[in-house]
Amino acid sequence: MSENSLPRTAKRLTDYTAPAFSISHVDLCFELDAEATRVTSVLQIKRNRADVPLKLDGQQLTLISIALDGQLLDTTDYQLDADSLTVFTVAQQCELTIICDIAPQHNTALEGLYMAGNTYCTQCEAEGFRRISYFPDRPDVLAEYKVTIKADAERYPYLLSNGNKVSEHIDSDGRRVVQWHDPFPKPSYLFALVAGDFDVLTDKFITQSGREVSLQLFVDKGAITKGSFALESLKRAMQWDEQRYGLEYDLDIYMVVAVDFFNMGAMENKGLNIFNSKYVLADAASATDRDYFNIESIIGHEYFHNWTGNRVTCRDWFQLSLKEGLTVFRDQEFSADMGSATLCRIDAVKLIRTAQFAEDASPMAHPIRPEQVLEMNNFYTVTVYDKGAEVIRMLQTLLGRDTFAKGLKLYLQRHDGQAATCDDFLQAMQDVAAQDLSQFRLWYSQSGTPLLTAAQRYDATRSQLILSLAQQTPPTADQAEKQPLLIPVQIELLFNTQASQRHLLLLNESEQQYLFEGITEAPVVVWLEHFSAPVKLAAQYSDDDLLLIARQATDGVARWDAMQQFWSRKIAQQVTSNASEVALPAALFKLLQHWLEQPGTDMAMTAELLTLPDFDTLAEQYQLIPVDKLLSSISRFKQLLAEQLARPLSSCYNALKTGPYQYQDNDVGLRKLRAVCLNYLAQLNDNQPLLHTHYVNSDNMTDTMAALAAAQQSKAAVFNELIADFASRWQHDALVMDKCFALVASQPGEQVFEAIDTMLTHPLFSWKNPNRVRALFSAFSLRNPQQFHRIDGKGYQLLADTVLRLDPLNPQVAARLVTPLLSWRRFDDERQQRMRAALQQIAGQSSISNDLYEKVNRSLD
């Protein structure tokens, strides 16, 4: 069946109906074979509604036979089409046995059962189970699974599935036969199977109630030492969830498998998480501090899903944020407790201000609970995940930490073993808080980025401070009308001669005023401290106000944000001032110099304070993005800082020394600050040898990458030399080569096109591996604004060609890759034309996937 014969009608949230049939038990048997795996599925079915036939989802399956209560059916008893199997006459209760064949070897979409190298593995979220067997593949059909796996005993020592292992033996054909049973009813998207040969790291965890859980981490042969950080992270996550929320793990075994071919980061299958190896494997030589951070956070994320996602799942896919927003929030809180809470928050804010604000302004704008979906895979978005987490965070701010934790407990108790909705979650919160959350609910249904306008008036004679807030959400591609939201606005009042005050303002109308009495001097107001809501802010600050906040605010995020706002304004002035150069105040240099001279104990924070906002953050502040002016302003200010602060940058750089590599807060901060200094210093011509020395002296990937990134950004000739050395040193390590591919593809010069072509011929590059493709092409389209947005359209053309090449192999990854082209309306006429031409070329292909079709068509509409 060609992809374009799929129906292209979207599903709507409002069309939800409860399942007509339930399945209490599923018995699955897999006889593994790369070309023809036989899947036998026995379903215990119960009818919930009279007069409807039994319709099961199924795609790309070769049906062998169907039997109803032991009786083979013939072709007049059922109807088969490209996406479903309909059995006409089904009793109130019955047993249906379906046999079909699938071909994992040819599954390049990496959904359903596929081969990751020599390993068989599955990915069933969102709708992948239908590529394994005919089934009501929807999250509100929960069943108890028994799974039997048969495969060649020698080649496949490990045959894994969900739950507890029941038996294992070798049969008379030399096949290993392993049986699993998962006692917890689950939807099909949480089913998993893995078969392969691995190195295994084992450990155990004793739960708070004293149960022993066996922990097993499966990695490629030879990679065992790279797995220990992930396993340690898992134990920390298990303990954290007990301490923070009283949530304990429920099976006797928890398995994590690292595979090299995976569309996303990882997957929370019950008791058997499958991970992209990028988020499991780490050692000092090959992984950066950022890699370590990501591993801990994603290991945590998947573990936390065991309650928020698995024990309580989603009624339908429109409710995705119910599990994802909540679980991202939980993993963010975990990371904050494991390291620097401020740094974690800054990272989260950066993501919202770049990718999420961009999504709101794009043709794919949607609320955190989307209302209309053609291809569900397109809705695993920063809006659903990260804005979803911001919404949960606001709820915690409004209710307080303890009440929020009680609400979570009630929600989990009330819906344990069920498929729930976002409304169910809010109801539980409302019940414990005894607070009306009806206006807050709007955050689930309204898309877009609210703009908050803040002002203040101080009346010295009355000792009164009057703060005013106004909110307005501009229309989005999916929704013209917007209503006022309930927005928690945390503020701090900074005074000259007295201690500061912190308050929480609740904004629930279009405009509101807040009166503070007994205020004896005019304060500087820190608005939206800790980024207490995912909104844009327009406040009347002077340069001095911002520098004061950057020095004095209690909240680290607010200090960093003040610097970001300072630079945004300077860059905006530079963008609009034709020719003349915007001057920077002496007080700025004094402050920056002070930080360099006394970087303090939180060096990572200092590093953030010294870093200019990036292109993407700045771009989101413009409706029409002034690409060239933004790029030249950023580089002008960067150059200026490097020149003006050369001496303190250099002393700071030289003063920072660590011992042998450790992933430990203080060292992470130190490396980060050193990298920032190096990056500035690299702007200065006489500092080229420094890059070389930094690279050569590095005993870890973080420092190595710092040298390479600085060389690349300074357009230094030394970049070519260093990257060549790096590529040859790591030519056999795919995960490190991904870093090399990304550096090559994000180099700002026009040689990038030739360099990408060369990389495509690298022995480790494969169009079938999402990590490789993303390393080259996401780096190019997302981290190389200079070349991607070239005025001649060569960058757009490269992306369109890539997307079209990828779509037949892996539509999900192709559709993610196309994203930067969708926002063509936000660029100047010339770029608009070229971007649109690239999109039209994609749309003009007769058989593009649903994934791509949905995004490209929304954009061209």
How far apart are CB 203 and ligand 0A1 at their closest, in Å?
22
Sheet holding 464-472, edge to edge: 511-516, 464-472, 451-459, 536-539
Q: Which stretch binds Zn ion (CB under 5 A): 113-121, 321-329, 335-343, 344-352?
A: 321-329
In the complex, what is the shortest distance from the CB of residue 378 to Zn ion, in angstroms, rounded to a whole number?
Answer: 16
**The entry of Zn ion, ligand 0A1, none that residue 355 binds, CB within 5 to 8 Å by partner kind:** none
Contact 811, 850 (CB under 8 A): yes
List the one residue from 37, 119, 123, 332 that touches ligand 0A1 (CB under 6 A). 123
Closest Cα to residue 537, out of 474, 450, 478?
450
Task: Compute the distance between CA of residue 560 and CA of residue 652 in angstroms, rounded to an integer.
Answer: 20
Determine, following the binding rule CB under 6 A, whether residue 267 of this chain makes contact with ligand 0A1.
Answer: yes
By CB under 6 A, residue 850 contacts ligand 0A1 = no
> Rule CB under 6 A: is residue 377 a binding residue for ligand 0A1?
yes
**Between 310 and 787, CB nearer to Zn ion:** 310
Give the chain's largest Cα–Cα span. Answer: 95
Q: Compute CA distances 110 → 120, 164, 265, 324, whole Å.
A: 11, 25, 13, 21
| Rounded-to-integer distance, Cα 676 and Cα 606, Å | 10
To Zn ion, the closest distance from the beta carbon of 26 in angstroms equals: 23
Size of the site for Zn ion (CB under 5 A): 2
Rounded to whole angstroms, how far apart are CA atoms 294 and 372?
A: 31
Nearer to Zn ion, 134 or 303 (CB): 303
The residue (of 275 and 637) whose beta carbon lies closer to ligand 0A1 is 275
Asked if the peptide bond before residue 126 counts as cis, ω within 30 degrees of 0, the response is yes
CA distances to 132, 559, 803 from 62, in Å:
10, 60, 29
- Helix or strand holding residue 852 (H, E): helix 850-860
Q: How many residues does the chain have?
A: 861
Name residues contacting ligand 0A1, limited to 336-355 (CB under 6 A).
none
**Binding test (CB under 6 A) with ligand 0A1, winner from 125, 360, 616, 854:** 125
Asked whether the beta carbons of 563 and 609 are under 8 A apart, the reply is yes
Q: What are 676's two structure tokens? A: 């920032």
Instruction: Find the part of the chain contacting ligand 0A1 (CB under 6 A) among 261-269, 357-365, 499-507, 747-755.
Output: 261-269
Tell the smallest beta-carbon distance from residue 276 to ligand 0A1 (Å): 9
When asked if residue 108 is in the footprint of ligand 0A1 (CB under 6 A), the reply is no
**Nearest-approach distance from CB 388 to Zn ion, in angstroms:** 10
Q: For the purposes of burial, counting CB atoms within 10 Å of the CB of 480, is it exposed (0-12), middle (13-18) or buried (19 or more)?
A: exposed
Residues 577-636 that bind ligand 0A1 (CB under 6 A): none
CA angle 12/18/22 to nearest 5° reads 135
Indicate whether 324 belongs to the interface with ligand 0A1 (CB under 6 A).
Answer: yes
41 vs 273 by CB, closer to Zn ion: 273
- Decide whether 120 or 249 has the Cβ nearer to Zn ion: 249
- Interacting partner of 807 out of ligand 0A1, Zn ion, none (Cβ under 5 to 8 A depending on kind): none
Element (H, E) at 467: strand 464-472
Question: To the nearest whole angstrom, how small is the minimum distance from the Cβ of residue 214 to ligand 0A1?
Answer: 23
CA separation, residue 764 to residues 462, 730, 768 (Å): 72, 11, 11
Q: Choose between 303 and 824: whose C-beta lies nearer to ligand 0A1.
A: 303
By CB under 6 A, how many residues form the interface with ligand 0A1?
14
CA distance 200 to 194: 14
Spacing of C-alpha 735 from chain mean position: 19
Among 847, 849, 846, 826, smallest CA distance to 836 is for: 826
Binding of ligand 0A1 by 301 (CB under 6 A): yes
- What angle do the packed helices 665-681 and 627-644 form, to 10 degrees? 100
Nearer to Zn ion by Cβ, of 327 and 340: the residue is: 327
For ligand 0A1, give the closer residue by CB, 217 or 553: 217
Check binding of 278 to ligand 0A1 (CB under 6 A).
no
| CB of 158 closer than 8 Å to CB of 195 | yes
Would you list the DSSP string of 365-384? ---SS-SEES-GGGG--HII
Residue 266 lies near ligand 0A1 (rule: CB under 6 A): yes
**Given candidates 302, 360, 608, 807, which one binds ligand 0A1 under the rule CB under 6 A?**
302
**Catalytic residue selected from 302, 375, 390, 620:** 302
Q: Is 306 in the site for ligand 0A1 (CB under 6 A)?
A: no
In whole angstroms, the minimum distance from the beta carbon of 343 to ligand 0A1 comes to 22
**Closest to Zn ion by CB, 306 or 565:** 306
- Region binding ligand 0A1 by CB under 6 A among candidate stretches 266-274, 518-526, 643-651, 729-737: 266-274
On whether the CB atoms of residues 217 and 200 are closer than 8 A, the answer is: yes
Shortest reach from residue 201's CB to Zn ion, in Å: 23
Q: Tokens standing for 144?
A: 């108890």
The radius of gyration of the chain's CA atoms, rounded to the nearest angstrom, is: 28
Does 264 interact with ligand 0A1 (rule: CB under 6 A)? yes
Interface of this chain with ligand 0A1, residues 209 to 238, rule: CB under 6 A: none
Q: Judged by CB under 6 A, does residue 263 bind ligand 0A1?
A: yes
Residue 281 Cα distances to 205, 257, 439, 570, 770, angstroms: 21, 11, 44, 42, 17
Q: Give me the residues paired with residue 54 across strands.
A: 87
- CB-nearer residue toward Zn ion: 271 or 626: 271
Residue nearest to ligand 0A1 (CB): 264
Report if residue 316 touches ligand 0A1, rule: CB under 6 A: no
Which positions from 44 through 83 interact with Zn ion, judged by CB under 5 A?
A: none
| Tokens representing residue 634 in the block | 């950023």
Asked if residue 268 binds ligand 0A1 (CB under 6 A), the reply is: yes
CA angle 7, 12, 14 (to 5 degrees): 145
Cα(793)–Cα(855) distance, rounded to whole angstroms? 20
Contact stretch for ligand 0A1 (CB under 6 A) within 96-104, 260-268, 336-344, 514-522: 260-268
Alpha helices (H) along 12-87: none
**302 a catalytic residue:** yes
Cβ at position 269, least distance to Zn ion in Å:
12
Select the span of 120-128, 166-174, 390-398, 404-412 touching ligand 0A1 (CB under 6 A): 120-128
- State the binding partner of 234 from Zn ion, ligand 0A1, none, CB within 5 to 8 A by kind: none
Q: Which residues are part of the catalytic machinery?
A: 302
User: By the criterion CB under 5 A, which residues form the site for Zn ion?
Assistant: 324, 327
User: By the criterion CB under 6 A, which residues form the site for ligand 0A1?
Assistant: 123, 125-126, 263-268, 301-302, 324, 377, 380
